Structure 1
Amino acid sequence: MNPLVQLAAEEPQSPLIPPIPELIVGLIAFAIVFFFLAKKLLPNINKVLEERHAAIEGGIEKAEAAQTEAQSVLEQYKAQLAEARHEAARLRQEALEQGTALKEELRAEGQRQREEIIAAGHTQIEADRKAASQALRQDVGKLATDLAGKLVGESLEDSARQSRTIDRFLDELEEKAEAAR
């Protein structure tokens, strides 16, 4: 007989319960695989998992440290920016004050130079007036002497006499000019 037929003729077996030899071979194979996994593979898996856990924890700690450092650097930059703005405002104010002082100094220097020029002008005018007055006195004196000589009929060549006559004539002219004012 065919062994398949013989198996079919025997008692019907439940499909849920395997035959005993298969069960023993399966348990031995399971024990071997379990032992291999427990001794070799499971420690490697645990090691890799622990390394990943440590890497993740380390990454989180590094990220927190980097964030703390970034926040610290940001605060330093903000403080430096505020200080730079304060310094710029101070420099602007200082430049404004220096500009105002320089403007006042230049204005005072201009005023002083203007006054010097005016004083020099007045001095020059006074000198020119005196020179013109002196030249006019001499010309008028000469003309007066010539005219007086013609009127009197005698020569007034004597310098002392001429000088007295001229002085007297000019004094009279000045008195009349002052009286007219």
Structure 2
Amino acid sequence: MTTTVLAAAQQNPLIPAVYDIVWSAVCLAIIGFVFWKKVLPTFQKVLADRTEKIEGGIAKAEQAQAQAQQALAEYQAQLADARAEAARIRDDARAEAEKIKEELYAKAQAEAARIIAQGNNQLAAQRAQIVAELRGDLGRMAVDLAGRVVGESLEDEARRRGTVDRFLDELDAVSAPAGK
């Protein structure tokens, strides 16, 4: 056999000897068995752990994204509610301002009417006072003039008063149609 191996070795330098092939196969089988029993399960465990971590991280990321979406939806709902509340408050304030404006206008109108009425009452009182004073002055002047024209004294109070009143009534009667 050695002769055939030697002959074969002499023929092709790339083909190893049979004993090298057998021992290489035995070593390869032992290394393969150890790899299969010890190294391969460790690799599979490490790969399974990494896969689990990655899938867990993806699940956590999806859960965080779902929570963020929910928080965003709640925020947008609260923002919409706040905007609606602000619009309602603004409308209420405008209505209240309009109501206050109308109340102030009504109060101003009432105050103006009261001031006008008070002024008219004062004017009427002053007019009555002036008319009474003018009647008195006019009466005295009329009595003096009448006394001078008639030539007698009209000192008697009752007679003088009656004459003055009659004279003033005639003046009122004459001036009333002209004033209308």
TM-score for the superposition, normalised by structure 1: 0.81
How far apart, in 2, do the equivalents of 1:154 and 1:18 lie?
A: 185
Instruction: Report deviation, 1:63.
Output: 1.8
Instruction: Report deviation, 1:59.
Output: 1.4
Q: Secondary structure at the match of 2:100?
A: helix
Instruction: Report deviation, 1:45.
Output: 2.1
Structure number with greater CO (CA < 8 Å, separation at least 6) is 1
**Which runs of no fewer than 5 residues in structure 2 stay unpaired?**
1-5
Equivalent of 1:157 in 155, 158, 177: 155
Structure 1 residues 86-165: aligned runs within 5 Å: 86-165=84-163
User: Which residue number corresponds to residue 63 of structure 1?
Assistant: 61
Instruction: Report deviation, 1:44.
Output: 2.9
Equivalent of 1:83 in 81, 84, 107: 81
Cα RMSD (Å): 2.6
How far apart, in 2, do the equivalents of 1:19 and 1:10 lie?
A: 8
CA deviations 1:111-169 (Å, max 9, x no partner) are 11111111111111111110111111111111112212222223333332322222111
Shift in CA distance, 16/148, structure 1 to aligned 2, threshold 3 Å: same
Equivalent of 2:165 in 136, 158, 167: 167
User: Which residue number corresponds to residue 5 of structure 1?
Assistant: none
How far apart, in 1, do the equivalents of 2:9 and 2:147 lie?
A: 191
Shift in CA distance, 162/90, structure 1 to aligned 2, threshold 3 Å: same
Q: Secondary structure at the match of 1:18?
A: coil
One-letter code aligned to 1:83: D
Identity across the alignment (%): 48
Instruction: Report deviation, 1:78.
Output: 2.3
Equivalent of 1:14 in 7, 12, 15: 12
How far apart, in 2, do the equivalents of 1:133 and 1:155 lie?
A: 26
Aligned length: 175
User: Which residue number corresponds to residue 3 of structure 2?
Assistant: none
